[in-house]
């Protein structure tokens, strides 16, 4: 463990500085830009650095990437750093940065990847007018785990090449804008753990979206027209909302679906037989609803094979730590999970015997 000491003399040929994953403490040297005037990549992540971010970093015309994540930096984002015309990648995640997010950080013509998650930023997400930019390149935005409030600004839904938007665990509110339907490049959307309310946009037909997390909000209405033309959808998490009605038979059209989480809503009716068409399904949680009727017998024939690197050695209780786990022994072990509560199990009738050893682990919690 030591301080970040740099030479006092000019090093014009140094373009990459990477001292990540060490135990360096203290401030980032204020003269770092004058010592390394041609710096293109700066990675100081996963240390114990403290203090403010040097404003001069935004003045370096050759700077492409800055990663200061997982430190103990405080203060805000320097205005000059936010105005860089060359910076493409900025990760300031998991520090103690605070205050309002400067609007200019979203106005860069070069920035493509912006990660400000895990800090103490507050206030509204700034409103800007991206129509004034000839080309807007921002594709990944992560503002999760802050103290942001207000509604999502409309300009976000006009970023045609947006691929990732994560704003979970803030205090955001309002309706989910209908403009969400037209983001053709969007692959990952996480609005969970906020105060969004109202119905989900019924026009959501995005073919590109793969992971959708809307849990722990106050979304209401039915699932009739939501998401069921999204053939590439891998994760659908709508748990802990106020959704009503039945699980639509159209759910069987989500051919790539691997994770289905509808826990803790007000869903009624039977589990549709079409759920058995989800051959890629690994994790399903329908617990804490008002479902009844028959459990489709085809669930006893699904292999629930782990997919895409999921470990087959994890116990089902380790996957999500959810309530009301029904553990069908080796049948649903590993990354494979089927959840209904003990109370709900008594309301179901199984069409055919599962011929499986079942044990119920009750970990009740308030809804």
- Per residue in 303-331, pLDDT (tens digit) is 555 444 433 322 332 223 222 233 222 22
Claim to verify: residue 62 and residue 185 sit in the same structural domain: no
Give exposure, 318-336, as e/b (b: 16+ Cβ within 10 Å): ebbebbbbbbbeebbbbbb
Instruction: Judge whether 320 lies within some domain.
Output: no
Cα 248 from Cα 267, distance rounded (Å) = 10
What DSSP letter does each residue of 15-71 carry, written as one string?
Answer: -EEE--SS-EEEPPPTTHHHH-TT--EEE--SSEEEEPPPGGGGG-TT--EEE--SS
Q: Domain check: are 133 and 267 in the same one? A: no
Judge if pTM exceeds 0.75: yes
Same domain, 185 and 143: no
Is 281 among the domain residues? Answer: yes
Same domain, 159 and 185: no
Do 118 and 186 lie in one domain? The reply is no
286 in a structural domain: yes
Tell me 232's DSSP state.
Answer: T
Residues 141 and 234 in one domain: no
- 201-238: per-residue pLDDT in tens? 765 556 788 999 999 999 999 987 667 677 889 999 99
136 and 186 inside one domain: no
Q: The CATH number of the domain where 161 resides is what?
A: 3.80.10.10
Q: Which of 49, 61, 133 is nearest to 94 (CA)?
A: 49
Which of 304, 327, 348 delimits the end of a domain?
Answer: 304
Task: Decide: residue 12, CB within 10 A, 0-12 exposed, 13-18 middle, 19+ buried.
Answer: exposed
pLDDT for the residue numbered 65: 95
Whether residues 40 and 70 share a domain: the answer is: yes
Is residue 67 domain-shared with residue 129, that is, in the same domain? yes
**Is there a single domain that holds both residue 147 and residue 46?**
yes
pLDDT band of residue 345 (cuts 50, 70, 90) is: very low
Higher pLDDT, 199 or 352: 199
Per-residue pLDDT at 67: 97
Q: What is the mean pLDDT of the chain?
A: 80
Please determine, for residue 25, whether its predicted confidence score (pLDDT) is greater than 80. Answer: yes
Is 328 inside a domain boundary?
Answer: no
330 contact partners, CB below 8 Å, separation of at least 6? none
Residue with more model confidence, 336 or 195 = 195
The residue among 304, 320, 345 that closes a domain is 304
Predicted local confidence at residue 131, as pLDDT: 75
Q: Per the domain annotation, does 63 fall within a domain?
A: yes
Range with the lowest mean pLDDT among 84-88, 141-145, 167-171, 300-304?
A: 300-304
- Do the domain assignments include residue 10? yes
Which range, of 84-98, 185-199, 301-315, averages the lowest pLDDT? 301-315
- Structural domain ending residue among the three candidates 304, 326, 358: 304
Report yes or no on 151 lying in a domain: yes
Same domain assignment for residues 153 and 25:
yes
Contacts of 328 (CB under 8 A, 6+ apart): 338, 354, 356, 357, 358
166 and 186: one domain? no
**Is there a domain that residue 366 lies in?**
no
Residue 299 has a pLDDT of 64
Question: Domain limits at 88?
Answer: 1-171
**For the chain, how many structural domains are there in total?**
2
Nearest Cα residue to 206 out of 263, 165, 264, 249? 165
Q: Nearest-CA neighbor of 358 among 334, 330, 335, 336?
A: 330
Structure confidence at residue 7 as a pLDDT band (50, 70, 90):
confident
């Amino acid at each position: 463990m030591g301080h970040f000491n740099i030479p006092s003399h000019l090093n014009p040929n140094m373009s990459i500085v990477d001292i990540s994953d060490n135990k360096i403490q203290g401030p980032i040297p204020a003269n770092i830009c004058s010592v390394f005037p041609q710096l293109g990549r700066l990675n100081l992540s996963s240390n114990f650095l403290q203090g403010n971010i040097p404003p001069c970093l935004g003045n370096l015309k050759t700077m492409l990437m800055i990663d200061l994540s997982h430190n103990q930096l405080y203060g805000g984002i320097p205005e000059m750093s936010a105005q860089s015309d060359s910076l493409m990648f900025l990760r300031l995640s998991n520090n103690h940065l605070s205050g309002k997010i400067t609007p200019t950080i979203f106005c860069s013509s070069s920035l493509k990847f912006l990660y400000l998650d895990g800090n103490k930023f507050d206030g509204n997400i700034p409103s800007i007018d991206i129509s004034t930019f000839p080309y807007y390149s921002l594709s990944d935005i992560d503002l999760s785990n802050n103290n942001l409030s207000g509604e999502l600004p409309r300009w976000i839904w006009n970023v045609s090449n947006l691929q990732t938007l994560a704003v979970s665990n803030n205090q955001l509110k309002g309706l989910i804008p209908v403009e969400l339907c037209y983001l053709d490049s969007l692959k990952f959307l996480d609005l969970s753990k906020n105060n969004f309310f109202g119905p989900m946009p019924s026009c959501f037909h995005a073919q590109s979206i793969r992971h959708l997390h809307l849990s722990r909000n106050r979304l209401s209405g039915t699932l009739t027209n939501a998401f069921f033309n999204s053939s590439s959808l891998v994760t659908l998490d709508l748990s802990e909302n106020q959704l009503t009605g039945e699980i639509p038979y159209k759910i069987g059209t989500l051919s790539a679906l691997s994770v289905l989480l509808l826990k803790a809503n007000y869903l009624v009716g039977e589990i549709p037989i079409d759920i058995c068409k989800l051959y890629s399904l690994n994790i399903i949680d329908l617990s804490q609803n008002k479902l009844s009727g028959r459990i489709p017998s085809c669930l006893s024939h699904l292999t629930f094979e782990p997919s895409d690197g999921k470990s087959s050695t994890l116990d089902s209780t380790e996957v999500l730590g959810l309530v009301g786990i029904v553990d069908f022994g080796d049948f649903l072990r590993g990354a494979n999970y089927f959840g209904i509560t003990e109370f709900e199990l008594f309301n179901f009738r199984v069409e055919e015997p599962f011929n499986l050893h079942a044990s119920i682990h009750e970990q009740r919690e308030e809804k």
